[in-house]
Chains A and B, each alone.
Chain A
């Protein structure tokens, strides 16, 4: 193919079309003018839409990061130390509760004396085992150890009788009273339990935080999206976890308007 000839052909066509003036379509200017008029409202709307979406993405990702931040490691350490403190408190509580225990005991010796007679034969055989059992839960009934070491006959017998009552002691009235004696012992624990409940209540206070977070998020969205009905709203469910609500009807209306 000859390049010169090709250039000549191209040149001929170019000249031909240079003077080409077809009639412009009637009414096209009106269409252009109308579209130019729409330009301003369109520009205003689009940025707010994307700013709202971008703001929610940033906020949501921030919350996700905040909830998954590596604080759990320090939290585990704190848990490991906790049991030491209650143990000390428990001994203190037991020490304070011990006098109460001894104060109640004088009412019981009448029954315990009877029981001693009934189990006089077994007493020696079992006593060794009982001591072992009593000493097993060292931390809990410190008062019991104290009583045992004291070696007063009444209290010692009470101590031995407590366990056998479950096993073989079933002669009616006496058993019930022993059981009431057993139930009377646990009041040592409540102070510890109550403390735990208090800490639980104290720790449940921070659970209110999500309410604060959701209201902050709503405020942030509100600054961007200044309509009465927001596109995105935040709230908390019963468990305190964050909820995202999209107003889809608003989004649809918006699309229609843009078109």
Chain B
């Protein structure tokens, strides 16, 4: 499939898209503010994949390379949105005692809604650190912020999400 895509075979490209579109949309949705933005991200990402497929040198999995392109596309779109936008600050949320979550009861869609409601910068940092495994230094360089800002934004985003998840789980429990 990779060889076909490299040769510009449209059939091979379509097969690659069909096999990975759903999974990559799941990645895009976490970074995007809306489903519409995520679909736009997915389209731009796949076009980049097909146009720059020559730059994949076989290091790491092909899927991992595509996933990285999706994340980079998300970062570029975030930067573009940042130019005219305001940076929203989150108020510090104090953590209470509960530290463990079952999450089994929660659907990904519910978690996604929570993540999408995070302010843009916090969502980027949380996604990149907690779900993608970037270091604070990498995040700081990529988003052009300080490492301290990256750490504090991650901490606030995480605390806020825990609070919201707790509320959801409580709601689910009550509704039973």
Instruction: Write the residues of chain A forming the contact surface with B, with a CB cutoff of 8 angstroms.
Output: 1-2, 5-6, 8-10, 12-14, 16-17, 19-25, 28-29, 31-33, 35-36, 39
For the complex formed, measure the closest distance between the CB of B51 and the CB atoms of chain A, giving whole angstroms.
7
A13 contacts across to B, CB distance below 8 A: 103, 111, 130-131
Q: List 21 A-B contacts (CB under 8 A).
A: A6-B158, A9-B99, A9-B158, A9-B162, A14-B130, A16-B103, A16-B106, A16-B111, A17-B108, A19-B108, A20-B29, A21-B22, A22-B26, A24-B42, A28-B21, A29-B14, A29-B17, A31-B43, A35-B43, A36-B50, A39-B51
CA A21 to CA B25, docked complex, whole Å: 8
Residues of chain B with a CB closer than 8 A to A20's CB:
23, 26, 29, 108, 112
- Looking at chain B's contact residues, the main secondary structure is helix
Nearest 6 A/B pairs, CB to CB: A24-B21, A20-B26, A10-B130, A20-B108, A21-B22, A5-B99
Q: Which residues from B are CB-within-8-Å of A22?
A: 22, 25-26, 29, 108
Bound-complex Cα distance A10 to B14 (A): 33
* Structural contact, B101 and A9, CB atoms closer than 8 A: yes
Q: Are B51 and A33 in contact (CB under 8 A)?
A: no
Does B39 sit at the interface, judged by CB under 8 A?
A: yes
B30 contacts A17, C-beta separation under 8 Å: yes
Q: Using Cβ atoms and an 8 Å threshold, which residues of chain A touch B101?
A: 9, 12
Which B residues are in CB contact (< 8 Å) with A9?
99, 101, 130, 158, 162
Give the Cβ gap from B34 to chain A, nearest Cβ, in Å.
13
**A2 and B26 contact, CB distance less than 8 A:** no
Q: B150 at the A/B interface (Cβ < 8 Å)?
A: no
Q: With a CB–CB cut-off of 8 A, which chain A residues contact B14? A: 29, 33
A25 contact set on B, CB distance < 8 A = 25, 39, 42
Are B95 and A8 within 8 A (Cβ)? no
Chain A residues, Cβ within 8 Å of B30: 17
Q: Are B158 and A28 in contact (CB under 8 A)?
A: no
- The residue in chain A whose Cβ has the minimal distance to the Cβ of B111 is A16
